[in-house]
Amino acid sequence: MAWPHGARLLGVEWIDSDHMALGKRVGELAERIRNSGSEEVKTLLSALLQETQSHFTREEQAMKDCDYTRVEHHKEAHHRLLEFLEFLRDDVGSGQTALDEKMIDNLWNWLNAHIATEDRAFAKHIQWQAIDNTATTTSF
Ligand SMILES: [Fe+2]
């Protein structure tokens, strides 16, 4: 399943860029689904987990920096995905569980839904705050 092109763009460059990098990584995993348990898949899963953690840390710090009120709710959503990725890294990486299409679909579905809801709301907040700051610093 492909990540619908354009559906993930939120208009905040660093968020869009991080999301595209994560999408690329999931796409690589989807291509290698039959080599579950291989060294290559283990490496990809570890890289995906690490990149996702870094992205979530960046988002959560940005939320704190701009006093975003839904930060705790958003962090809980991040935590749930990290748990799923840790499961994939440990169980699939060790060969105990086979990486299958349903797992990849779950990953795409989670990312698409999260980006379309929680991340979209945060991106709007950033964009409104930028407009607000411009309005208060502009003298007429
Ligand atoms: Fe997020």
Name the band, by pLDDT with cuts 50, 70 and 90, for residue 2: low
Could you report the per-residue pLDDT of 32-68, keeping only the tens digit for each? Answer: 887 767 888 889 999 999 999 999 999 999 999 999 9
Q: How far is the CA of 139 from the centre of ligand 1 (A)?
A: 35
Could you report the per-residue pLDDT of 66-120, keeping only the tens digit for each? Answer: 999 999 999 999 999 999 999 999 998 888 888 889 999 999 999 999 999 999 9
Q: How far is the CA of 98 from the centre of ligand 1 (A)?
A: 27
**Reported pTM:** 0.86
Q: How far is the CA of 94 from the centre of ligand 1 (A)?
A: 28
Domain residue limits, the chain:
37-129
- 3-state secondary structure string across the chain: CCCCCCCCCCCCHHHHHHHHHHHHHHHHHHHCHHHCCCHHHHHHHHHHHHHHHHHHHHHHHHHHHCCCCCHHHHHHHHHHHHHHHHHHHHHHCCCCCCCCHHHHHHHHHHHHHHHHHHHHHHHHHHHHHHHHHHHHHCCC
Q: How far is the CA of 75 from the centre of ligand 1 (A)?
A: 7
**Which of 19-23, 90-94, 136-140 shows the lowest mean pLDDT across its residues?**
136-140
pLDDT of residue 4: 57
Q: Domain 37-129 is in which class?
A: mainly alpha
Q: How far is the CA of 59 from the centre of ligand 1 (A)?
A: 6
Phi, then psi, of 130 in degrees rounded to 5? -65, -40
Name the band, by pLDDT with cuts 50, 70 and 90, for residue 6: low
d(CA 41, CA 61): 30
